[in-house]
Amino acid sequence: MSGKTNQGHFFEDYHVGLKLNHATPRTVHDGDAAMYQALYGSRFAMQSSWDFASPQSSLRNPVMDDLLVFHTVFGKTVPDVSLNAVANLGYAECRFLSSVESGDTIQAYSEVIGVKENSNGKTGIVWVRTKGFANVDRPVLEYVRWVMVKKRDAASPTPETVVPDLAKVVAPDALSVPAGLDWTRYDYTAAGEPHRLRDYTVGEVIDHVDGVTLTDAEHMMATRLWQNTAKVHFDVTAREGGKRLIYGGHIMSMARALSFNGLANAQLIAAINGGAHANPAFAGDTVRAWSEVLDTTPTNAPGVGAIRLRLVATKGGPAGALRGEDGKYLPDVLLDLDYWALMPV
Amino acid sequence: MSGKTNQGHFFEDYHVGLKLNHATPRTVHDGDAAMYQALYGSRFAMQSSWDFASPQSSLRNPVMDDLLVFHTVFGKTVPDVSLNAVANLGYAECRFLSSVESGDTIQAYSEVIGVKENSNGKTGIVWVRTKGFANVDRPVLEYVRWVMVKKRDAASPTPETVVPDLAKVVAPDALSVPAGLDWTRYDYTAAGEPHRLRDYTVGEVIDHVDGVTLTDAEHMMATRLWQNTAKVHFDVTAREGGKRLIYGGHIMSMARALSFNGLANAQLIAAINGGAHANPAFAGDTVRAWSEVLDTTPTNAPGVGAIRLRLVATKGGPAGALRGEDGKYLPDVLLDLDYWALMPV
Amino acid sequence: MSGKTNQGHFFEDYHVGLKLNHATPRTVHDGDAAMYQALYGSRFAMQSSWDFASPQSSLRNPVMDDLLVFHTVFGKTVPDVSLNAVANLGYAECRFLSSVESGDTIQAYSEVIGVKENSNGKTGIVWVRTKGFANVDRPVLEYVRWVMVKKRDAASPTPETVVPDLAKVVAPDALSVPAGLDWTRYDYTAAGEPHRLRDYTVGEVIDHVDGVTLTDAEHMMATRLWQNTAKVHFDVTAREGGKRLIYGGHIMSMARALSFNGLANAQLIAAINGGAHANPAFAGDTVRAWSEVLDTTPTNAPGVGAIRLRLVATKGGPAGALRGEDGKYLPDVLLDLDYWALMPV
């Protein structure tokens, strides 16, 4: 049998400083935007309407949804980072650096910045900093992700532990606002809600009301759109229980689209401070979402502020319920995402 | 809990003359056309082929399917008109005013033209006239729709009844033909059938033969494509019975695509005279379609006529069977649509 | 009842020399590429990235996947060739003659080149040579297909048997390389694997490892994308057993996408020497794939060679297992495809 097939890397294959040039550059375009629309039903005006976006930005072409960019970059890292991952443990220091427009080609590169073998000797944690670029050299996204990966051989020597020092929150002055963005003449009627940054208060909880029952066909189409090849999303024989595990990013996009109802002016994602896929999701689950306002800040761009939000996707609990008395996520919680969005002031 | 979420309007919120500026302009493009193609499999040559369409029109870009435009405008009205609707009662005076091309941005506006409280005091009927525009000011679609909406409070005062006077049929001289359309050198071979307007006779019934068994993934993707947010289409907990109700427009598009077989030259929809969603449709139902020729008329455009058709979607009955002895729709009938299509003479 | 509906042709309707001009030209574009991406998750760099493809070709626009072109041409032939087909028996002499770019309009023409009535007197075999063109006159695809078709009337006279003489393999010097293709500065890192033509040996078997469990929504969307109208793919009542038969081309595209893992540099399909849909596939089946290297050859284009591959899709057997002791395909084998792909030398 040929040895040409990629079986994925194991814990021993990673060391701090290892650089990974991820395969398959991907040109994203209007067709992808339409698929994204069909999969999530997003209504944010900046991505929905060229007539809305172009007068208040320096975009030359329709802008891709920020999470579509995130998933595309993430998907490229899967064959090199997480094909043998036991768990996707977290994200930090994720910043969206520049708008991605229809026609841009996305590439991704990662560097290993931490390794730590687990005490069981069978698995370890790997931290990678991933950067996404458009058209070779324009940085569009940067983030740290850490995953638990199997060792190929439990007898392999234990590497020196290196745990990176990661910011809990992307600092307001590190937020990137797309060049030319000007929201001083923002059209709230077209955007769908009157609420602007000053109308939100820290601690406010927003129930996004609507729900979507998931199907296998949709999450597979989504996951393939960003060329994510993790077996568990496609092959019912890859996990016990005979069900396809839904890619966590599908839940992120679904919750973000649901959050339009109450956060219609949180138009663009500027940063992701952290995120946890608290419980697995499967076809048949009905996803709901709520948000909590964590902070607000001005930016230097005209009319543009930023709102820090906790976006929680659930399969049934009441808005605001996140953890049990034991401090653990409630069983109905699917996603806990901490992010900064840009919003007119 | 935040009060920023849209819970939809109730009967008391509407009064004759109320103007509704619907949110989220939407740029439609080739990506949407591909999704529409994948969802319905339409074969009408005007939308399928730029080489077919461009020589016989003044189109500058590929034309969007008429029903894609209808659904896009309709979807924008849902949050303001029918989020609390008990039933979608009817359509009238629907005219397609101008071709929508790839790259056009669609906006929608409505005005309340009638209100009538029901005798039970708990619900009422609201009539709205909706207009769709491309690129701010080019009218592309106009129609009247009436829905039954819940009252927020049964004790609210009963408004004065205003029932608009609506045409049973869009008059032939009110039909709009796209600028520059010329079918004097129409290619029947490329279009797929030899039958032209003069080959059809009033009263003729056409069995479109084929059937499509519906799935949940597909109707949800369709409904999201036009940003229609009605809960019942997505959330299995939103209705008794635990099934997602399929958006009536999905059945319209499915039946229209099936009607190609026998009506391949009914290329463009010029008007919808009326329509009823006779029974609900669910995943697993197999949709079939038949048409009845109701009328024909010439137009002023070279080689272009119009055919008035009754398009009926069913889940199983014989072609031609519409109503029982009691005058009610048969239980297998899903849709009864009365429309004008443009066809070469 | 109207007689305008196409009921498909029967065996008596075909005679050697009959020319069929298939309906509905189809403009393919980025939107179709995105749907194809979502349906199969292909990662071949030539179709994924404009930045990868454009420097090493004379493409003016993004290139469509070769199988998307095959399916589009094939779909056009269905109403005229295989609507009443009992079985799709084989392919031969299939050559891809020119790249199809986003925006090209595809048309298809066939000529009957063979007929043979079966001894049962109820069915016969029809051979057709089909040609696909872009933008009226640029040849893009040519292939022979033979199908078993029902007779309308068993009493019809038996035609003279004509069985065409077909090549077992498209000869290396008949392979067409896209104009301007130059792989002398090919980027193996971006493409995803280091293996080039000289690294493969005849007889080598590659297990593509991954699996995808099929859904009805996806294969219907695929099949509609290329306007293939065969009832059995859509209508659960069209076959015994109440299941939709999955279009064989869906399995071809799925297997081809899976084959990236081990054959990432087999970028373009140059020819299909033969193919058999060995067993039917249904939703719920998990598709896997393996390849066997059958031959390699240089071409005249700089840095471009060709690899002849057997691509086998299965629903579970081990890589390399194709036929039982009786010489028949194993029950788990879905597809046996013999093709030439272009690969850097």
User: What is the per-residue pLDDT across A145-166, written as a single tens digit (0 to 9) for each?
Assistant: 999 999 999 999 999 999 999 9
Give the distance from residue A16's alpha carbon to the nearest chain B alpha carbon, in angstroms.
Answer: 42
User: What is the per-residue pLDDT across B47-63, written as a single tens digit (0 to 9) for each?
Assistant: 999 999 999 999 999 99
Distances (CA, A) of C219 to A212, A223, B190, C30, C228: 22, 16, 26, 20, 11
* DSSP bridge pairs for A112: A128
* pLDDT for residue B1 is more than 80: no
Which chain B residue has the Cα nearest residue C107? B190
Q: Do C6 and B45 touch (CB under 8 A)?
A: no
Element at A293 (helix H, strand E): strand A286-298
Is C233 in contact with C285 (CB distance < 8 Å)? Answer: no
Smallest Cβ distance to C210: which of A21, A217, A235? A235
Is B99 in contact with B135 (CB distance < 8 Å)? Answer: no
Give the pair of three-digit tokens for residue A315.
Answer: 């399969």
Q: Regarding the domain delimited by C170-177+192-345, which CATH topology (the fold level of the hierarchy) does it fall under?
A: Thiol Ester Dehydrase; Chain A (3.10.129)
Is C300 in contact with C270 (CB distance < 8 Å)? Answer: no
Q: Regarding the domain delimited by B9-152, which CATH topology (the fold level of the hierarchy) does it fall under?
A: Thiol Ester Dehydrase; Chain A (3.10.129)
DSSP B172: G
* DSSP bridge pairs for A339: A272, A309
Smallest Cβ distance to C1: which of B193, B207, B210? B207
Q: Do domains B9-152 and B194-345 have the same CATH topology?
A: yes
Q: How many Cα atoms within 13 Å fall on the side-chain side of residue C251?
A: 30
Q: Do B4 and A62 touch (CB under 8 A)?
A: no
Q: What pLDDT does residue A7 have?
A: 81
Which chain B residue has the Cα nearest residue C79? B192
Domain-wise residue ranges, chain B? 9-152, 194-345
Residue listed under structure tokens 């030398």: C345
Best mutation target, C1, C19, C24, to test chain B (most B CBs within 10 A): C24
Which pLDDT band holds residue B18 (cuts at 50, 70, 90)?
A: very high
Smallest Cβ distance to B1: which of A32, A44, A319? A319
Question: Does the CA dihedral C144-C147-C152-C153 come out positive or negative?
Answer: positive
Per-10-residue mean pLDDT, chain C, length 345: 85 97 96 98 97 94 97 96 86 97 98 96 96 97 96 93 98 96 97 97 96 98 96 93 95 98 98 96 98 98 98 95 97 98 98
**Which of A210, A329, A324, A310 is closest to A260 using CA atoms?**
A210
Q: How many CB atoms lie within 10 A of CB A333?
A: 22
Q: What pLDDT does residue B267 have?
A: 98
User: What is the per-residue pLDDT across B252-276, written as a single tens digit (0 to 9) for each?
Assistant: 999 999 999 999 999 999 999 999 9
Name the region of B64 (left: φ>0; alpha: ψ -120 to 50; beta: rest).
beta
Alpha carbons A268 and A262: distance in angstroms, whole number = 15
* DSSP bridge pairs for B111: B19, B129
Smallest Cβ distance to B236: which of A190, A191, A213? A213
Is A270 in contact with A69 (CB distance < 8 Å)? Answer: no
Q: Write the DSSP string, B117-152.
A: E-TTSSEEEEEEEEEEEETTTEEEEEEEEEEEEE-S
Q: What pLDDT does residue C7 have?
A: 81
The reply to whether A199 touches chain B by the CB within 8 Å rule is yes
Q: CB under 8 Å to C277, separation ≥6 — which residues? A: C88, C248, C251, C334, C335
Q: CB under 8 Å to C87, separation ≥6 — which residues? A: C147, C148
Best mutation target, A5, A20, A135, A225, to test chain C (most C CBs within 10 A): A5
The reply to whether A7 touches chain C by the CB within 8 Å rule is yes
The reply to whether C45 touches chain A by the CB within 8 Å rule is yes
Q: What pLDDT does residue A248 have?
A: 95
Chains in touch with B (≥3 Cβ pairs < 8 A): A, C
* pLDDT for residue B7 is more than 90: no
Q: How far is CA B73 from its chain centroid?
A: 10
Give the distance from residue B194's alpha carbon to the nearest chain A alpha carbon, in angstroms.
Answer: 34
Element at B213 (helix H, strand E): strand B212-213
Smallest Cβ distance to C213: which of A23, A229, A235? A235
DSSP C238: S
The reply to whether A235 touches chain C by the CB within 8 Å rule is yes
Q: Regarding the domain delimited by C7-166, which CATH topology (the fold level of the hierarchy) does it fall under?
A: Thiol Ester Dehydrase; Chain A (3.10.129)
Give the distance from residue C65's alpha carbon to the nearest chain A alpha carbon, in angstroms.
Answer: 14
Residue type, A7: Q
User: What is the per-residue pLDDT across B280-297, written as a single tens digit (0 to 9) for each?
Assistant: 999 999 999 999 999 999
Q: Do C35 and A30 touch (CB under 8 A)?
A: no
Give the pair of three-digit tokens for residue C212.
Answer: 């995808």
Give the pair of three-digit tokens for residue A209.
Answer: 């009301």
Give the pair of three-digit tokens for residue C283.
Answer: 């939703």
Give the pair of three-digit tokens for residue C200.
Answer: 């493969």
Q: How many CB atoms lie within 10 A of CB B325?
A: 5
Q: What pLDDT does residue C242 have?
A: 94
Q: Regarding the domain delimited by A11-152+171-344, which CATH topology (the fold level of the hierarchy) does it fall under?
A: Thiol Ester Dehydrase; Chain A (3.10.129)
Q: CB under 8 Å to A142, separation ≥6 — which residues? A: A93, A94, A95, A97, A129, A130, A131, A132
Q: What pLDDT does residue B84 have?
A: 79
Q: How many CB atoms lie within 10 A of CB C171?
A: 11
Q: Do A234 and C211 touch (CB under 8 A)?
A: yes
Is C277 in contact with C245 (CB distance < 8 Å)? Answer: no
**Which of C98, C78, C100, C117 is closest to C232 using CA atoms?**
C78
Q: Do A220 and C216 touch (CB under 8 A)?
A: no
The reply to whether A282 touches chain B by the CB within 8 Å rule is no
- CATH 3.40.630.10 applies to domain B194-345: no
Angle between helical axes of B216-225 and A216-225 (0-180°, round to 10): 60
DSSP B63: B
Instruction: Give the A:B interface size as CB pairs under 8 Å.
Output: 143
Question: Does the CA dihedral A40-A249-A238-C209 come out positive or negative?
Answer: positive
Q: Do C261 and A6 touch (CB under 8 A)?
A: yes
Q: Return the HEC string of C113-165.
A: EEEEECCCCCEEEEEEEEEEEECCCEEEEEEEEEEEEECCCCCCCCCCCECCC
Q: Do C24 and B33 touch (CB under 8 A)?
A: no
Alpha carbons B280 and B251: distance in angstroms, whole number = 10
The reply to whether C30 touches chain B by the CB within 8 Å rule is yes
Residue A75 φ/ψ, nearest 5 degrees: -60, -40
Distances (CA, A) of B297 to A37, A181, B57, B186, B309: 39, 52, 20, 18, 12
Q: How far is CA C250 from its chain centroid?
A: 9
Q: What burial class does residue A172 get, using C-beta atoms within 10 Å of its C-beta: 0-12 exposed, 13-18 middle, 19+ buried?
A: middle
Name the region of A316 (left: φ>0; alpha: ψ -120 to 50; beta: rest).
left
Which chain A residue has the Cα nearest residue B216? A215
Smallest Cβ distance to C235: which of B50, B212, B319? B212
Q: CB under 8 Å to C111, separation ≥6 — which residues? A: C17, C18, C19, C20, C128, C129
Best mutation target, A4, A40, A219, to test chain C (most C CBs within 10 A): A4
Q: Return the HEC string of A26-37.
A: EECCHHHHHHHH
ipTM reported for the complex, 2 dp: 0.96
The reply to whether A37 touches chain C by the CB within 8 Å rule is no
Give the distance from residue B209's alpha carbon to the nearest chain C alpha carbon, in angstroms.
Answer: 7
Question: Does the CA dihedral C271-C275-C281-C285 come out positive or negative?
Answer: negative
Are β-strands C19-21 and C105-117 bridged in parallel, bridged antiparallel, or unpaired? antiparallel
Is B267 in contact with B330 (CB distance < 8 Å)? Answer: no
Q: What burial class does residue B240 get, using C-beta atoms within 10 Å of its C-beta: 0-12 exposed, 13-18 middle, 19+ buried?
A: exposed
Give the pair of three-digit tokens for residue C187.
Answer: 């980027």
Q: Write the DSSP string, A178-216.
A: -TT---TT--HHHHT----GGG--TT-EEE----EE--H
Residues of chain A with pLDDT under 70: none
